[in-house]
Amino acid sequence: MKVRGLLDTGKLIALITATDASADGRSKMVGPWKALHHAAHEEGISGFEVPHFRIAQF
């Protein structure tokens, strides 16, 4: 399931992206997440948080 679909269902508990992923790939994953957080802030919805973790490949 895509990030947007998970955000819409409320089942996304965290977003994890790789630091070495392409900029386009990260943008497609992080964009909907940022939009949701911005909308919650604009609407004054407190306590809404889906963490974003960036993982480096070793």
Domain containing 10 equals 3-55
- In 3-state terms the chain splits into helix, strand, coil percentages (rounded to 5) of 45, 15, 40
What pLDDT, on the 0 to 100 scale, is given for residue 55?
92
Dump pLDDT digits (tens) for 6-51.
888 888 888 999 999 899 988 888 888 888 888 888 988 877 788 8
- pLDDT at residue 1 above 70? no
- Give the chain's domain count: 1
**Angle subtended at Cα 8 by Cα 28 and Cα 38, rounded to the nearest 5 degrees:** 65
What pLDDT, on the 0 to 100 scale, is given for residue 24?
92
pLDDT tier at 58 (50, 70, 90 boundaries)?
Answer: low
